[in-house]
Amino acid sequence: MSKLAQLAERAPELRVPARLGALDDIARYVLALAGRARLDGNTAYRLRLAVDEITTNVVMHGYRGGPGEIVLRGGCDADRVWVRIEDGAPPFDPRDGRLDPAPDVPIEQRRVGGLGVHLALISVDEFSYAYLDGRNISMLAVRTGPGPSTVGESGRL
């Protein structure tokens, strides 16, 4: 198998119930993918954080705590590692719930819902969303080359 073909190999699919108790399995799946792709620790952390936040969002706001399923598929291309998150909840673009930090607002008055989506979006290099055939599909990717690693540069985590 060529190196590129190996890189393009997909991780097995992960199907989990839409419950917060599944976050552990989701983290293991993403970290295993990151390990296979030999992502550095910081990039692996960012990808895990983004997937965690988006799937938490699906559980809490997509299915609203009701029953459902989340399907993860991941893989590596030559220059990026991606995770596709699919669910059958009503149409819900995670970006609609984004709340950027408001550091000038006193902490006592802070709204914190939506911060997770903000964290997810600044943690990955690519994000897209589509509603196709009754399914919400979010696609997240990080580049495998050296990338920004500090807050303040494009707001990237």
Partner 1 sequence: MPLSVSLSVDGDISVIELIGELDAHTAPEFHESIEKAAAHGTAIVEIRMHEVAYMASAGLRSLVFAQQKVVDGVTIRVVGASEPVSRTIRTAGLDRSIVLADE
**Contacting residues toward partner 1, per CB under 8 A:** 20-21, 23-24, 27, 42, 45, 48-49, 52-53, 56, 59-60, 101-104, 106-108, 110, 112, 115-116, 119, 122, 150-151, 157
Q: How far is CA 10 from CA 5, 17, 62, 132, in A?
A: 10, 21, 26, 21
| Residue 123 beta carbon to partner 1: minimum distance, rounded to whole angstroms | 9
Q: Using the minimum distance from each CB to partner 1, give the nearer residue, 11 or 119.
A: 119
| CA 60/CA 58 separation, integer angstroms | 6
Q: Using the minimum distance from each CB to partner 1, give the nearer residue, 7 or 53.
A: 53
| Residue 108 beta carbon to partner 1: minimum distance, rounded to whole angstroms | 5
Q: Locate tokens 């059958």: which residue?
A: 88
List, in sequence order, every beta strand (DSSP E) within the chain: 14-17, 69-76, 80-87, 126-132, 135-143
Q: Using the minimum distance from each CB to partner 1, give the nearer residue, 88 or 101.
A: 101
**Best CA proximity match to 59, nearest among 50, 49, 69:** 69
| Residue 5 beta carbon to partner 1: minimum distance, rounded to whole angstroms | 32
Q: Using the minimum distance from each CB to partner 1, give the nearer residue, 60 or 71.
A: 60
